[in-house]
Structures are given as structure tokens and as C-alpha cells.
Chain A
């Protein structure tokens, strides 16, 4: 494999890792607050449909992204009401929301556009364009680093850079702010947070809403940046890969970034089986590459690469006063 191919691979790694990363960080807030969320997939899908449809009507990717966030927030609200207010089973609620999203997105897109459940192709300002970072062309002649900067780091949509910015922001919020401390506490020991006079429900709701916003960005990225429009089931299990990455990263933001980059790299590899074959000299079946993130997650869950321990109060609704 030559350097140019490697750069191509890394470039698509960044593209493919971005929706995973946004969804993964989304899940991080919810799960750190003690609300398990296997509905990331459904929220992303809803957001992708809303973003695709509104971007088509307005011709503006930003308005589309906003609509995506709103759509995802509605689902987050249902999840919150179900699992926090009515103390329902969080996992079952997530499963239900995924099915709802899967059906409703197609129904809506079909009713609006009549094109078999997808939005018309988006073009121009309806998509997030690629940004060329300063000096990308000027630095290209620099050996090794120049092409890396020009081809891999530069030339992505703003949401890609935003995703990596949110990693830093999340780290800061989680470990350097009062809100982050409370968030971590409420996922481990809600009774203690309650005793300190902080509302457990309020904290959890806020976390679930942040999850909604980030899933909204992830979905908007899918429909208006990575691809040109919404298509049926376009998230294709990314919500679950993000969940896998979250476990892989043991619910920590910076590690989540590395996990998503790794899984994004696998996805990029699955698109280039020829490269894989040239490197390992054995024909690797594409389905194996597709399955790799899931297999790795199971291995991590099994505790063979350091044990993944979820937030202690995760999955349990909080009941005040017994």
C-alpha cells in the first residue's frame, strides 16, 4: 500500500467516523446520567430524515441541521418521559423508538416526496460543503505532512471539525465543570445527588436532551454532508456501532474519539477490500470487516481487554423516598 492510498483511507476514516463520534458522545451524556440509550439509531435516523427534507425545501443545510436536531429532540423527549417520568424500562423504550423511527421516517418521506421513502437529492447550499483549511495548498509540497494536512485533515464539512471540537468540550464539561461532576454522580449514585438537593430528574432530562441534540447533528451529517439526501434506513446500524464504541471507550470522551476513529477505519477498509487483500495477502471477506466493530465490542465486554464497567445506576429509574 502506498502513501496516497493510506491518505485516501484516512480521509474516508474521518468522514465515516464523524457520525459515529457524534452519536457516541450523544450516548455518553445519557448513559453517564444513568439512562441507557439503545435508541441512538432511531434518533439519528429521524434527524437524517428531518434534515434531508427541510434542507431540500429551504435549500439551506443549516436550517436542515436545525430541523434534524428538533426531530431528534422530540424522540429524546419521548425517551425521557418514558424512562424518567414514568420510570419505564429504558431498554425497551429505546427498542420501541428505533422501530418508530424506522417506520415513521419512510412514511413521512413517502408522503412528502413520493419517491419510495427517500428525499430528493440535495445539491448546492442544501448540503454542508467541504472546507479547505488555510494554507492547505501552500503546505502540500512539504513531504509526508503536507499531503496529510491537505488531503486528510483539510477538506471536510464543518460538522466533522465540530464533532472533534465537541470531544474536547465534552471532556471539559464532564471533568471540569460542576454540571459534569453532578452528571457523573447521578449515574453512579443518584441518591447522593438527591440528598445534596439537586434534582435527579432534572439532571437526567438535561442529559437526555443533550443526547438528542448530538444525535440530531449526527443524523444531519448523514443526510446533508456524508450523503446527498435521506434514504430508507440510511443509518444502517451506526447507532449501535456508536453504542459499541461507547462501551469500547468505557464511557470516556477522548477514548470515545479513538474508538470511533478505529471503527470508522474498519468501515473505510470494508469499502476497499482490494487494499486489505494487498496488505495481508489473504482474501478477507468483506462481511468480516463489517462485523469487526461488533466482535471487538463483545471481546471488550467480555473483559479480555480491561473490563468495561457501565455507570452503576445505569438502567434503573430513580425512586425518591422508599
Chain B
């Protein structure tokens, strides 16, 4: 079979997939009697045409970078971690426990503690499915789905019966102490010249970017990363080369869960400043779309996370200003996963045919 040139493989395939998703989304908007052009205008204006919009777009993107990287690391080990949602919720619990009971003197120290708590709890929630996959061969997809639901129940229990302050009605923890407030973009010197009004995007964004670099270094510049990728490509070959499967599955899933958990420093510590029910609000699942769209490469993940940040913020604007329900973003999310993840082969076959036609013409001309 003919192969695609590298640039087409890296850029064109995701672009065509995205285009197909966009076309179908437009058809959906037409089908419900709305105007797709108006929709895209509202989305662009509300999310990237002013600093306020960017403040939200980048805030969402921060969460998606974490969850996208989480799915990416697991994917490279040949594991499909659908449990990002549950791991991110548990990460939120880790943040809450780290911040509620210890009087931290400064946000920077509190951030380190919260990040450790978040990563630790996220990783712990991934550990059981990982162990069951490695030792008992239980399919990780099913166990992580189950763990999402168990996490949801656990969080309801924790918020309603354990962490809810006495006398309060809503299932949420108390507010975190004032000292743990993370600087948002409008409070960071320099950035506050651009972001003049309060926005939820905060310092965590830079941590997310650093994590993207760290994940890249890990996967392509360390022995462990090589082992993870080798294991993901071919388990028998990796086994033959002396790579311990149990170790790789455990480590890859712990890193994955830790990254998903880390998301909580953005939304729980940086934005809500207390732990609310359903804290991850779907970001764990969006990580799947982000990783697929980003071709499981940290650079791609960051770009795809920005795109989904735009989609999320723009979708919220749609819900506010037009008759198009906010659920449109779930549809787009589904379409992106479908085209970039499951129908990858179809897009590729299509492009290979087109390229073959061009090549034939070139040969004729020569």
C-alpha cells in the first residue's frame, strides 16, 4: 500500500478529520434550524477576539492539556485510559485535602502540596485498574470505566457526608484559605496589562506547558520512555527485549493517572477554590479527543487542547447568545473522536487515493 508523505501524516490527516467534523457540525446546526455562520462568528468573538475570552479559552485548555497528556502517555504503552474523568475527580479530592487542613503560608508552597496531592490521588485511582490489567489481565478500558462511576459515587459520598461544612446545604467543601489563592492572568505583572478583568486562567497554564515538555522528554529522551513506546508497539517484542510488562503497565498508568489528577490544580485550586460535585466536568473525557487529535504528541496535544478550549468557551457563548444549546460542543467532541480516532483509516485511504492521482499525473507529465 502507498504511504503518505510525512507532512500529510502529521498535519493533513488531522486537518481533514477536523474539516469533516466541522462540516457535519454545520449540517447539524442547519438541521436544528440555526445558522452555522452565526454560530462560528459568536464562538470566535466570544473566545479569541478579546483578552477576556482568551482568559477562559486558556483556562479550559490548561485542563485539557493535562488530561490529553494523560491519555497520550497511556496510549504510548498501548493502554486506553478512559478513566481520566475519575482520576481528575480524585485529584480534586487530593487538592482539597491538601489545602483544607494545613495553613500554608504562601500560594507557591500550597501549589506544590496541592499538585502532589492531586497527582498522588489521581495516580492511586489509576493504580488498581493498572494492577488488574498487569497481573490479572482485566481489560483496562472496562475497569477504568467502572472506576469513573465508582469515583463519582465516592465523591458524592465525600462531599455530602464527610467534607461538607456543618450547616451548609450544597455538596461542596468549605472555601480554601485565602493564602492558597493562585494568581490568575489578571494578577500576574505583565500579563495584567493584557488581561484587565478577572479571568479564570491562572499560573497552572504554565505548569501544563512544562508538563508537556516533561512528557516529551520522558517519552522520547529517556530509557523508560523508550520502554513504554516499545511495549506499546509490540508486547511480545518488548518482552523478548527484557522489558518487564507489569512494570511498564504500572508506571505508564500511574503517570497517566497522575497527569489527569494534576488537572485539579487548575479547576479546583485555581478556579473554584473549593471542591464541588462533578469537578472534572467532562475534561477527563475530552482528554481522549485531545490526545487523538494531537496524534499522541505533546505538541499536538497542546494545540488540540487550545482548539478544544476554544470549542468549550465558544460553546458556552453559543448557549448564552444564540438558540443553539451548549450541548453542541458534546456533538463536536464526539465527531472529532469519531473521525480522528475511529475513522482514521477512512481519512487515510481517502488521502492515499488523492495522492496516487497526483503522482500518476506527475509521471505522465514527466
Let me know if B153 and A290 touch, CB within 8 A. yes
Let me know if B345 and A87 touch, CB within 8 A. yes
Let me know if A288 and B157 touch, CB within 8 A. yes
Q: Residue-by-residue, is A223-243 near B (CB-CB < 8 Å gives 1, otherwise 0)?
A: 000000000000001001001
Interface membership of B346, Cβ < 8 A = yes
Let me know if B153 and A287 touch, CB within 8 A. yes
Residues of chain B with a CB closer than 8 A to A310's CB:
139
Let me know if B325 and A117 touch, CB within 8 A. yes
Q: Considering only CB atoms and an 8 Å cut-off, how many residues of chain B contact the other chain?
A: 49
Smallest CB–CB gap between B135 and chain A, Å?
Answer: 9
Q: Which residues of chain B (123-165) have a CB below 8 Å from chain A? A: 128, 132, 136-139, 141-143, 145-147, 149-150, 153-154, 156-157, 160-161
Chain B binding surface SS class: helix
Interface membership of A271, Cβ < 8 A = no
Please pick, from B136, B147, B337, the residue contacting A303 in the complex, using a CB distance under 8 A. Answer: B136
Q: Quick one: given A82-B343, A99-B285, are A298 and B338 in contact (CB under 8 Å)?
A: no
- Cα A86 to Cα B341 in complex, Å, equals 12
Interface membership of B216, Cβ < 8 A = no
Let me know if B132 and A107 touch, CB within 8 A. no
Residues of chain B with a CB closer than 8 A to A110's CB:
32, 325, 327
Q: Quick one: given A92-B337, A95-B337, A291-B149, are A285 and B345 in contact (CB under 8 Å)?
A: no
Let me know if A99 and B32 touch, CB within 8 A. no
Interface membership of B198, Cβ < 8 A = no
Residues of chain B with a CB closer than 8 A to A288's CB:
153, 157
Let me know if A88 and B343 touch, CB within 8 A. yes
Let me know if A38 and B325 touch, CB within 8 A. no
Residues of chain A with a CB closer than 8 A to B139's CB:
301, 310
Please pick, from B161, B325, B328, B341, the residue contacting A92 in the complex, using a CB distance under 8 A. Answer: B341
Let me know if A107 and B149 touch, CB within 8 A. no
- Cα A45 to Cα B157 in complex, Å, equals 27
Let me know if B338 and A103 touch, CB within 8 A. no
Q: Quick one: given A92-B292, A99-B337, A100-B335, are A291 and B154 in contact (CB under 8 Å)?
A: yes
- Cα A193 to Cα B341 in complex, Å, equals 28
Smallest CB–CB gap between A167 and chain B, Å?
Answer: 23
Interface membership of B33, Cβ < 8 A = yes
Interface membership of A214, Cβ < 8 A = no
Interface membership of B173, Cβ < 8 A = no
Among A83, A301, A308, find the residue whose CB has the most chain B CB atoms closer than 10 A. A301
Q: Which residues of chain B (273-300) have a CB below 8 Å from chain A? A: 285, 288, 292
Let me know if A96 and B342 touch, CB within 8 A. yes
Let me know if B132 and A302 touch, CB within 8 A. yes
Let me know if A301 and B145 touch, CB within 8 A. no
Let me know if A83 and B342 touch, CB within 8 A. yes
Residues of chain A with a CB closer than 8 A to B31's CB:
111
Return 5 A-B CB contacts under 8 Å, by A number: A86-B349, A92-B342, A93-B341, A103-B332, A302-B132
Interface residues, chain B, CB within 8 Å of chain A? 28, 31-33, 80, 82, 128, 132, 136-139, 141-143, 145-147, 149-150, 153-154, 156-157, 160-161, 285, 288, 292, 324-325, 327-335, 337-338, 341-346, 349
Beyond the given A88-B344, A110-B32, A302-B138, could you list 10 further A-B residue pairs with CB under 8 A, ordered by the A residue number?
A88-B343, A95-B288, A99-B285, A100-B331, A100-B338, A107-B32, A287-B157, A290-B156, A294-B147, A301-B136
Interface residues, chain A, CB within 8 Å of chain B? 38, 78, 82-83, 86-93, 95-104, 106-108, 110-111, 117, 237, 240, 243-244, 247, 285, 287-288, 290-291, 294-295, 297-298, 301-303, 308, 310
